[in-house]
Amino acid sequence: MKKIILLMNANQRKKIFKNDDLDQLSKFGEVSCNPDEKDPDTERAKELVKDANIIITSWGCPQLNKEILDQAPNAKLIIHAAGSVKGIVSDEIWKRGIRVSGCAQALGIGVAETALGFTIASMKNMWKLAQNTKQGKWAEGRNDVREVYSITVGVISAGRAGAHYIKLMKNFDVRVLLYDPFVNEKKAAAMGVEKTDLNELLKESDVVSIHAPSIPETYHMFNSETLALMKDDAVLINTARGSLIDEQALVAELKKGRLFACIDVTDPEPPTEDHPFRSLPNVVMTPHIAGAVTNGLNRIAKYAVNEIRLYLNGEAMDGEVLQSAISNLA
């Protein structure tokens, strides 16, 4: 019988995995859970993973290095019930031929839905209109309302979240542009989008939604030069990573009143109490809630359970991560 260990602390596990999820896992093998309320360090992880065949990690788990994996010589699969797997993988995993799957797809759904919400609310000018009505006004600002219709939406990266955002946007009568060096023309056409370069996308788009990973090549890809290319009254949405935007450059553009920004992530987090994002009238900032936060966390559990089912049935796992792809992940 397979031995399955849930390595994350007990509080984290209860937020993600419900009793019915644990029942499903028990059909695959003997399930063991970390009973501790604090995150496991390397020494504790060594104790917990002993003789495990399948290790389920999440936020707060240590990197699975040689020390830890030596205690689980028969480990064949690691499921990361969180976002990026970068924090838990090590070279030792690949040396041992252990397969790795992440739940970024499950998280990406919530991120994409948040970006869609930002898109609709911003185009409708809901943020400003809601403030106006609270101040006793009524019709002021109605002329600034735009529909998500016959506009151009630019998407930066068609990874898990970006691809789902594109799928959602296909329900609207809009033109969708894509900038993603890893997507070829054929794949872009199959997705129903127009592949273009970054500069052209910024010049053409009424809404720009960022879904790229935080890697050296994307650091401050939105800077004074690229932001200056954006159309007046364009909406910039960032539900990806704060490091993709040069915040000083964006503040400078926002102070001109040219753009509207929806910011869910900053660099660093949280931003300082006097950060201009907190006070500028043409910014909506949320505290990194685009991905799963409360009830949405259970989507991760369902996804993780299904990945194990696929693995045990000898089928391809939807979220499998290969060593060659690690450098391009968020």
Element (H, E) at 306: helix 297-312
The reply to whether 299 belongs to the active site is no
Confidence of residue 324 (pLDDT cuts 50, 70, 90): confident
What is the predicted pLDDT for the residue at 306?
98
Q: Taking residues 126-134, report their average pLDDT.
A: 94
Q: Which domain holds residue 37?
A: 2-102+294-328
3-state SS, 14-36, equals HHHCCHHHHHHHHCCEEEEECCC
For residue 56, give the amino acid letter.
I
Q: Are residues 200 and 261 in the same domain?
A: yes
Catalytic entry in 80, 160, 164, 241: 241
HSE-CB at 25 with a 13 A cutoff on CA atoms is: 25
Is the same domain home to 132 and 263?
yes
Residue 330 has pLDDT above 90, yes or no: no
On whether both 210 and 250 belong to a single domain, the answer is yes
Strands (E) in the chain, as ranges, are: 2-6, 29-33, 54-57, 77-80, 99-102, 152-156, 175-179, 194-195, 207-210, 235-238, 260-263, 283-285, 320-321
Rounded to an integer, what distance in angstroms lies between the CA atom of residue 34 and that of residue 5? Answer: 8
User: In this structure, are 71 and 114 located in the same domain?
Assistant: no
Same domain, 65 and 159: no
Residues 248 and 227 occupy one common structural domain: yes
Pair 316, 270 in one domain: no
The verdict on whether 273 is a catalytic residue reads no
Which residue is catalytic, options 43, 147, 225, 269? Answer: 269
Same domain, 226 and 306: no
pLDDT, tens digit (0-9, with 9 covering 90-100), for 212-262: 999 999 999 999 999 999 999 999 999 999 999 999 999 999 999 999 999
3-state secondary structure (DSSP) of residue 226:
helix
45-88 pLDDT, tens digit per residue, is 999 999 999 999 999 999 999 999 999 999 999 999 998 999 99
288 a catalytic residue: yes
**CATH number for the domain that contains residue 130:** 3.40.50.720
Q: Is the pLDDT of residue 329 over 90?
A: no
Amino acid at 116: L
Taking the CA atoms of the chain, what radius of gyration do you get in angstroms?
22
Active-site entry in 44, 96, 258, 288 = 288
- Asked whether residue 97 falls in the same domain as residue 246, the answer is no
How far from each other are the two terminal CA atoms of the chain, in whole angstroms?
35
What pLDDT was estimated at residue 325?
83
Same domain, yes or no, for 125 and 273? Answer: yes
Whole-number Å distance between alpha carbons of 200 and 218 = 17
- Taking the C-alpha atoms of residue 317 and residue 325, their distance in angstroms, rounded to an integer, is 15
Work out whether the CA dihedral 28, 2, 11, 164 comes out positive or negative: negative
Q: Do 22 and 92 reside in the same domain of the chain?
A: yes
- Structure token digits, residue 324: 């060659």
User: Both 270 and 318 in a single domain?
Assistant: no
Asked if pLDDT for residue 182 goes beyond 90, the answer is yes
Q: Average pLDDT of the chain?
A: 96
How far apart (Å, rounded) are the C-alpha atoms in residues 83 and 80?
Answer: 7
Q: Give how many domains the chain has, as a whole number.
A: 2
Residue among 78, 84, 83 at smallest CA distance from 97: 78
Residue 173 has pLDDT above 90, yes or no: yes
